[in-house]
Structure 1
Amino acid sequence: MMWFLTCVAALIGGYFIYGAFVEKVFGIKEHRKTPAHTKTDGVDFVPMSTKRVYLVQLLNIAGVGPIFGPIMGALYGPAAMLWIVVGCIFAGAVHDYFSGMLSIRNGGASVPSITGRYLGNGAKHFMNLFAIVLLLLVGVVFVSAPADMITNLINDQTSLSVNVTTMVVLIFGYYILATIVPVDKIIGRFYPLFGALLIFMSVGLMAAIAFSSEHTVMGDFKVSEMFTNLNPNDMPLWPALFITIACGAISGFHATQSPLMARCMHNEKNGRFVFYGAMIGEGVIALIWCAIALSFFGSLESLSEAVKNGGPGNVVYSASFGLLGTFGGILAFLGVVILPITSGDTAFRSSRLILAEYFNVEQKTLRNRLLMAIPLFVLGGILTQVDFGIIWRYFGFANQTTAVMMLWTASAYLLRHNKLHWITTIPAIFMTTVCVTFILNNNTLGFGLPMQISTIVGIVFSLFVTGYVIKISKGKGDTDFADEEEIKATSETA
């Protein structure tokens, strides 16, 4: 229990200490109007209260990733929780902060446009393609996962019998609606209620296992095992752990979601609470599910067996009903189901906006929104026919690669403004090494090269990218898009 509480305390401390430092390095400008006010359109650019924006951001980014990922990561032992804490504070929350704040500074732009501004058109085209692929994978994952979970819940707890296809169609129907209506009509209105359900799920499950006479939080692990790979399936900790636990530590998907709330935020001073803080909140959720996975089943072998018999969804179902009974279990389970649904709809919404920016199609009219959205849903529907396990593996790699691109973009921004770029460059180097090593070594998705060779190539490539970004950015000088808009407005007035 002490290990878990220490990890939670570290996350909270990270928000107040390192989060404040990151904010200072970035340099907020409280006097400047945000895109929510300068570009208000009643659809995507809509001012909302800070508390509401925070809850929407948290639910946008917290899909099944901070639950399924930590459950799978728990198979490596308590070391998984260490990565959640360190990754969240120094990589994930920093990544989310810059993805949101750079969007604000660039008129509410999506991540490909931001990347293109600071890393060039080649990077922009790469990110456009990669972001759309990632968001489609996210949308499919966040359709299939909740559809399976809801179907199992209904069939097990009622006399009804439904099939997964029916639930997929219903969830897709909701996604289409949420993608095209104004952001404050569904997302801004109902997400705070979903947030209350999420809080109940997290606090309720942790309290139940803490006071349970049958389960010991974190099991019987020794201090010497805290940093040891205990995976019963003999899966290598490096680099797989850092791909497996994505959303609870660092996730490129968040870079596609932060601009949604950047278009709704009143003031730059709220950025640390909304962007950095939401990632810390997701980190706490990830810690809770990692602790439950390490504690509820008694051993890593039993956890592994539960995963084999029904995936991480089976772990969620067993823990929810085993700890809270039928009524509490249903509420907790629904709290988990809400997460992917509230991320799936915004994944498709982000896809629509990225395509609209790329083809320069305004989105105030319903016809244009449908024009961008319908092809995405057709592709998403086709991808739901692919095996979930395959989709999830590709999602993990695409997710972390997108995070790498966003971190390098932030480094280029800081270099251009002569600010401390190492706060983003160091995590960018680490995650670049992780992604390159993973794709070179992995037999299923990559090239199956030996681990030592893969790691060396990953390190060398990361150092090369570091030198390249520094070379094209340092001393170049730059003004923010918002600065340029102010200068233009002033000259027109004069």
Structure 2
Amino acid sequence: MGPLLLGILGTTLLCFWLGARFYSTYIERALGVDTSRPTAAVLKNDGADFVPTKSYILFAHHFAAIAGAGPIVGPTLAVVYGYLPALIWIVIGATLMGGVHDMVTLFISTREEGRSVADIAREYLGPFSYVCIVSFLVIGLFMITATFLNLSVTALTSMYPATKLGMEPAACAELDAAMQLPADHMGMHPFQQGGGLPTVVALKDGQPVLLARIGGIASTSVLFITLCAPLLGFLIYRIHTPAWMNYLFASILCAASVVLGVYFPIVVTPDAWRLMMTFYVILASAIPVWLLLIPRDFVNVQILYAGLLAVVGGLVVAGVSGNFPLVLAAPQNLAEVIPAWSLDSGLQYVGVLWPMLFITVSCGAISGFHCLVSSGTTARQLACERHVGRVGYNAMLLESLLAVSIILTLLIGLDWQSYLQITYADKNPVLAISLATGSLVNLAFGLPVWMGTVLGILLLEGFVVTTLDVAVRLNRYLLEEVWRFLFRSPPAILRGVWFNTLLCAGVMFLLSRSNSLPVLWQVFGSANQMMGAMALLVAAVWLRDHGRRSLFVLIPAILMFATTFASTGLALAKNFRESNWALVSACAVLIVLGICTAFIGTKTLLAPPRRAGTA
């Protein structure tokens, strides 16, 4: 298995390098990137939303914002088809579709003064297309934020038997103490620092079991980084500290947050976390980007870089050593290992390979949400057009490398039956990847399993939080555009930042409480990638109207429309059978809006260009 692991990792890196080196350069020429042309961030610098930003800081923000939980949870769910189908789609999709989508939408938004994809569609496809696209984007963002809020709560409150995390000595002592408690105390009495994690005793099949709260450390880390982020924002944007000092300070904050989490883990109920995260995104989405959003992303991304480096490094060490406990324990029974292909399991738990695999992988290959980030916060901070490929295309490839690493981590860190039980029977893909990360870190570096599991939670939670705050802010931008479209002079309350932010956060909160993660994920995946198809269609029209080649965006648009129409139709039928009327309505609306947009876009492309020349 060692050569297989190294071969997959090496092939992935080679494909991504070729894409970054040659294909992104081709796209730059096709777009007509002009390094001497001032960007929207420079021309409209207001110190709040439009802020020219150094490329390394903007890359950190953009990567943290687009990655989210998608490249972690999506591939984890998609492995049910076997590891090979998901790997193939991620590598091909990211290189030829996802990176193109992100880079092109970032460039076009920059040329169009930082406007959103929907607002650009109003000019190039007409007002009705704007209504369709902006409605779709707002509904899609509600789905995305609700899904990620549930993921955040799941990550920070997950529990697992302590003995399976290498915490057996502490478990014995605490179980003895727990047995002395009255029966009605079982499951409620917490034991702090049980082998490094807060623990609680619960009854399972009538027997006391010590459960470790693996999200406690990450909870403290999230709060500490959030509280310290404004200080870093002040240093970067007001004191103008050099890059090395910013990296150093951010790294110190990251390390301190984890150390504090080990000694002072925070344990609260899922409902309390849901409320706390909602309050945070309201604050982060309303105040100036330099004060909380950007510095917090920059701090948090250091954990993400370190986590990704640890995972990739662990995979290399494991591949070189060839020490795979799952195979060595039962070399004659490779059925214990996650198979390369398992189409029957995929059909049973998710659905037919096409289109369900493609929308389940979601952000790891191509993501429509990225166009909102590219044409939202990122385009308004791009200091120079030469950064379009560096930020747009390369950040997508890094996200896809994370997705590939997640699949390989599952391959060597979790057996097939445990994967199916935790991911689908228990409906907790967050726990599955965290446990697999714990096994990988233990195998490669000899660290306790619980430490690696906490690393997995930190990695996931870091991506989720940095996506949540950006997504709510982007939805606020869209709502502000909608009011300006509907009213010649919008009422003061509709123009208010806090009103629109509260509206976005409120719908997110209510939707997250009414549906579970697995239910939301399929609709989220379909909506997310249909966003991408719409954005690529708008890009094709824009490029055609400015006398530029558009086939490299038009082909991915057609493929993604076909895939997402099929997947949304299947989701509609499934939720109809289960009488989940909220999601039935959402799927029906998404299909109608998607068909209308595709029709208008096709009609526009077949007509003569509405404007000549280049932008």
What TM-score results when the alignment is normalised by the length of structure 2? 0.70
Residues 349-392 of structure 1: CA deviation (Å, up to 9, x unaligned): 00111112222389xx9982112211112212211211223222
Counterpart amino acid of 1:46? V
SS of the residue aligned with 1:245? helix
SS of the residue aligned with 2:514? coil
**Distance in 2 (alpha carbons) for counterparts of 1:433 and 1:367:** 37
Out of 349, 354, 375, the residue aligned to residue 238 of structure 1 is 354
* Residues 462 and 110 of structure 1: CA distance in aligned 2, closer, same or farther (over 3 Å): closer
* Residues 311 and 328 of structure 1: CA distance in aligned 2, closer, same or farther (over 3 Å): closer
**Distance in 2 (alpha carbons) for counterparts of 1:289 and 1:379:** 31
Query: Hey, what does 2:225 align to over in structure 1?
Result: none
Aligned-pair CA distance for 1:96: 0.7
Query: Hey, what does 1:214 align to over in structure 2?
Result: 324
Query: Is 1:476 aligned to residue 610 of structure 2?
Result: yes
**Distance in 2 (alpha carbons) for counterparts of 1:122 and 1:132:** 16
**Distance in 1 (alpha carbons) for counterparts of 2:613 and 2:287:** 34
Given that 1:439 and 1:447 are in contact with CA atoms closer than 8 Å, whether structure 2 keeps it comes out as no
**Distance in 1 (alpha carbons) for counterparts of 2:301 and 2:497:** 27
Query: Hey, what does 2:438 align to over in structure 1?
Result: 321
Aligned-pair CA distance for 1:311: 2.2
**Percent identity between the two aligned chains:** 25
1:189-268 aligned at under 5 Å gives the runs 189-212=295-318, 213-214=323-324, 229=343, 231=345, 233-234=347-348, 235-259=351-375, 260-268=377-385
Out of 99, 106, 113, the residue aligned to residue 105 of structure 2 is 99
Out of 438, 444, 449, the residue aligned to residue 574 of structure 2 is 444
**Distance in 1 (alpha carbons) for counterparts of 2:600 and 2:129:** 13
**Distance in 2 (alpha carbons) for counterparts of 1:160 and 1:435:** 40
Aligned-pair CA distance for 1:332: 3.6
1:92-491 aligned at under 5 Å gives the runs 92-152=98-158, 156-157=212-213, 161-212=267-318, 213-214=323-324, 229=343, 231=345, 233-234=347-348, 235-259=351-375, 260-299=377-416, 301-307=417-423, 308-324=425-441, 325=448, 326-360=450-484, 368-388=496-516, 389-442=518-571, 443-445=573-575, 467-472=602-607, 474-478=608-612
**Distance in 2 (alpha carbons) for counterparts of 1:446 and 1:277:** 40
SS of the residue aligned with 1:385? helix
Query: Hey, what does 1:27 align to over in structure 2?
Result: 32
* Residues 321 and 463 of structure 1: CA distance in aligned 2, closer, same or farther (over 3 Å): closer
Aligned-pair CA distance for 1:395: 1.1
Counterpart amino acid of 1:21? Y
Aligned-pair CA distance for 1:138: 1.4
**Distance in 2 (alpha carbons) for counterparts of 1:277 and 1:241:** 24
Gaps of 5+ in 2: 160-197, 200-211, 217-264, 442-447, 579-594
Given that 2:541 and 2:605 are in contact with CA atoms closer than 8 Å, whether structure 1 keeps it comes out as yes
**Distance in 2 (alpha carbons) for counterparts of 1:160 and 1:105:** 45
Counterpart amino acid of 2:345? N
**Distance in 1 (alpha carbons) for counterparts of 2:316 and 2:385:** 39
Counterpart amino acid of 1:146? S
* Residues 115 and 341 of structure 1: CA distance in aligned 2, closer, same or farther (over 3 Å): same
**Distance in 2 (alpha carbons) for counterparts of 1:169 and 1:92:** 33
**Distance in 2 (alpha carbons) for counterparts of 1:432 and 1:108:** 26
**Distance in 1 (alpha carbons) for counterparts of 2:33 and 2:73:** 35
**Distance in 2 (alpha carbons) for counterparts of 1:100 and 1:463:** 21
Query: Hey, what does 1:12 align to over in structure 2?
Result: 17
1:32-111 aligned at under 5 Å gives the runs 32-77=37-82, 78-111=84-117
Aligned-pair CA distance for 1:54: 0.6
Given that 2:90 and 2:400 are in contact with CA atoms closer than 8 Å, whether structure 1 keeps it comes out as yes
Query: Hey, what does 1:452 align to over in structure 2?
Result: none
Given that 2:80 and 2:346 are in contact with CA atoms closer than 8 Å, whether structure 1 keeps it comes out as yes
Residues 430-462 of structure 1: CA deviation (Å, up to 9, x unaligned): 1111112223344315899xxxxxxxxxxx999
Counterpart amino acid of 2:282? I
SS of the residue aligned with 2:513? coil
**Distance in 2 (alpha carbons) for counterparts of 1:174 and 1:229:** 41
Query: Hey, what does 2:232 align to over in structure 1?
Result: none
Counterpart amino acid of 1:280? L
SS of the residue aligned with 2:386? helix
Aligned-pair CA distance for 1:420: 1.7
**Distance in 2 (alpha carbons) for counterparts of 1:48 and 1:294:** 39
Given that 2:117 and 2:538 are in contact with CA atoms closer than 8 Å, whether structure 1 keeps it comes out as no
**Distance in 2 (alpha carbons) for counterparts of 1:108 and 1:37:** 11
Aligned-pair CA distance for 1:256: 0.9
**Distance in 1 (alpha carbons) for counterparts of 2:19 and 2:360:** 23
What TM-score results when the alignment is normalised by the length of structure 1? 0.86
Residues 292-329 of structure 1: CA deviation (Å, up to 9, x unaligned): 22332243x44222212242112122123333333343
Residues 402-447 of structure 1: CA deviation (Å, up to 9, x unaligned): 1110010111112112222110111111111111222334431589
Given that 1:54 and 1:278 are in contact with CA atoms closer than 8 Å, whether structure 2 keeps it comes out as yes
Q: How many residues align?
A: 463
Query: Hey, what does 1:486 align to over in structure 2?
Result: none
* Residues 264 and 348 of structure 1: CA distance in aligned 2, closer, same or farther (over 3 Å): same
When structure 1 is superposed on structure 2, of 312-321 and 159-168 the one drifting more is 159-168
Given that 2:52 and 2:380 are in contact with CA atoms closer than 8 Å, whether structure 1 keeps it comes out as yes
Aligned-pair CA distance for 1:103: 0.8
Aligned-pair CA distance for 1:215: 5.1
**Distance in 1 (alpha carbons) for counterparts of 2:510 and 2:121:** 29
Given that 2:58 and 2:378 are in contact with CA atoms closer than 8 Å, whether structure 1 keeps it comes out as yes
**Distance in 2 (alpha carbons) for counterparts of 1:380 and 1:368:** 19
**Distance in 1 (alpha carbons) for counterparts of 2:269 and 2:47:** 38
Given that 1:439 and 1:445 are in contact with CA atoms closer than 8 Å, whether structure 2 keeps it comes out as no
* Residues 479 and 209 of structure 1: CA distance in aligned 2, closer, same or farther (over 3 Å): same
CA RMSD of aligned residues (A): 2.9
